[in-house]
Chains A and B, each alone.
Chain A
Amino acid sequence: MAELKIDNVYKSFGEEHILKGISLDVTDGEFIILVGPSGCGKSTLLNCIAGLEDVTTGDILLGDTNVTYEAPKDRDIAMVFQSYALYPNMNVRKNIAFGLEIRKMPKAEIAEEVARVAKLLQIEPLLDRKPSQLSGGQRQRVAMGRALARRPKIYLFDEPLSNLDAKLRVEMRTEMKKLHQRLGTTIVYVTHDQIEAMTLADRIAVMKGGIVQQFGTPQEVYDDPANMFVAGFMGSPSMNFLRCEVTKQEKDYAVQIESQGTIFQLPVDPKQADLSSYVGKTVVLGIRPEQITHVMPHLVAEQYITQVPVKIEVTEPTGADTLILARINDQECECRVHPQEAGKVGESMELLFNMSKAVFFDEQTEARL
């Protein structure tokens, strides 16, 4: 158990600059999720933390010690690799036991530990098989088991659940959470799964192009994104971005939208943004699909809620909700309505735009306003 401090880490492969000044302070026992588009350097960062790649500049501190120049085996870190990296010549049992053997754990304890991990990951029947005789999901669980058999200072997980079927993934997600609660070990975890990120993380680091765009709690990242990239990346279906003009009302400001030829003023909550210097200019309105719903009578009178009729272009039922693609300001806008309220394609439908959680971005810099 230890806190992890990543201080201004740069990593280049020759002329290719992959990590460009990563700084993260992870407190002891925190569960950190790394997200970001493919190729943004997540695996590279994990490799740097583990010591498998040398950083170009910058420091990595584990607890109070600077481990930047320490060998991987001295850092006491366990990692699950994206490609599993099971030893092909050893059976599952040996794969899990290898690290314990190397660290000179007594034989009886090793057997106990292997049994415990195998039970946890439901791989008991597989213990005598070679990795080549396992399915992708089974291999992934063995790779998890190899890491979990040890009690390192930090766990690094590189998309550990990506190959599991939906049901097992949900089960394993819960297991991960329980495991973390029980062990309290610091975890850095890479995933592409939005729900995994939101449910597991104490804090989420959103990366793009080798730079941390935002590092905050799931709710912060979701409600209070630092820029348009984070806003668009987190959440599924993703946030709507509508370019629209800022207008001055009696005392507040509003953004102007057009639907089916009619102009509407959506009032801007001053708590969300100060748009005084943008009057008459265009900004990007960020509004999540769930803030645009069918008409609910008790909400109609609320201050930041506006009723707007839209034309339905596409409907996408997801079961719990139906997603409606509407056209606002001649741009596509996804809205989330109750399945029974959803109209048919081509029809017009009344929707409520809830602006109390809307966010605004500069059109050019994509920075949050």
Chain B
Amino acid sequence: MAKSKNPSYANINARAVLYAVLIIVAAYYLLPLILMIVTSFRSMDEIRMGQLIEWPKTFSFDAWSMAWSEVQIGAREERGLRPYFINSILMVIPSVAISTILGALNGYVLSFWKFRGSELFFAALLIGCFLPFQAILLPQSQLLGWLGLSGSLVGLILTHVVYGVSFTTLFFRNYYVNLPHELVKAAKLDGAGFWVIFFRIILPLSAPILVVTVIWQFTQIWNDFLFGVVFSDPSSQPVTVGLNNMVNSSTGEKQYNVDMAGAIIAALPTIVVYVVAGKYFVRGLTAGSVKG
């Protein structure tokens, strides 16, 4: 108190420094995105004439429609990123839904319906979280071959579900062990069985962890490139692979504006998910640590 005569000024200074740092950091992360957006609205002529980094003189959506539905990618008949984007959606929705549901059920069983060896089962499942993608490529392609699912969307979905269940189970299990066990005991005495307890008692309490899991799985699966490139054929490739093929098509001159637009298109769904549900994501991540 004695040292700083006017504490409010000290506060303002501290705030100013804090905000300055935050703005710099935010700018550092935002600049590439801004550059991408700006470039995507410039025409190729303009880019060729001037600098790579420059404010657009004319504003056009040409690059976007090129990337979306006109650019020739590989030797495909259909043009643009659109078919890849649709593949991604067809892949991500069932993958996220199935892996999340399985994770919730696993977590529920591992927390409230323990059986002999359930701890071991959980430990074994956790190993899945530490397996690098690369480690399962060969056995998984072998397996998909046996199942007759090589190169199909279903095979890709299966791969994502299996790989994701370790994580989703971990999330739900760690959330559920913090719920009071008496809830399930009371419900059992009230006459409720396995499914009734799950749907009427446990699931309604799972909103925070559901959001976390869905966001996590959505970003993981949407952004995945490795599984997408290994386990698909041209008809089932996801947008990440499509983008890669588009950018790396070596015919003609590099179309920076189209590449940028394509990259934004490929990233758009995850950005939207974060903006819409990010608040719940942070809340859900910390939910387990606070009692009540």
Contact = CB atoms under 8 A, between A and B. Distances in A.
A23 interface: no
Nearest to A87: B201
Contacts of A99: 189-191
Interface string A150-191: 000000000000000000000000000000000000000000
Interface string A66-94: 00000111000111011111111100000
Interface residues of A, number: 25
B185 A52 contact: yes
B190 A98 contact: yes
Contact of B188 (A73, A83, A87, A88): A73
A338 B182 CA distance: 47
B140 to A, nearest CB: 39
Contact of B192 (A79, A83, A102): A102
Nearest to A94: B200
A71 B185 CA distance: 11
A167 to B, nearest CB: 27
B186 A85 contact: yes
A83 B182 contact: yes
A259 interface: no
A132 B292 CA distance: 9
Contact of A89 (B188, B190, B201, B292): B201
A326 to B, nearest CB: 46
Nearest to B205: A89
Contacts of B192: 73, 98, 102
B188 A52 contact: yes
Contacts of B183: 85, 87-88
Contacts of B189: 50, 52, 72-73, 77-79, 99
A156 to B, nearest CB: 9
A87 B180 CA distance: 10
A81 to B, nearest CB: 5
Interface in B172-226: 180, 182-183, 185-193, 196, 200-201, 204-205
Contacts of B204: 89
Contacts of B187: 87, 98
B291 to A, nearest CB: 12
B205 A81 contact: no
A271 interface: no
Interface of A: 47, 50-52, 71-73, 77-79, 81-89, 98-99, 102-103, 132, 146
Interface of B: 180, 182-183, 185-193, 196, 200-201, 204-205, 292
9 contacts: A52-B188, A81-B186, A83-B180, A85-B183, A89-B205, A98-B187, A99-B190, A103-B191, A146-B186
Given A72-B189, A98-B200, 18 more contacts: A50-B185, A73-B189, A73-B190, A73-B191, A73-B193, A78-B189, A79-B189, A81-B182, A82-B182, A83-B182, A85-B185, A85-B186, A87-B201, A88-B183, A99-B190, A99-B191, A102-B191, A146-B190
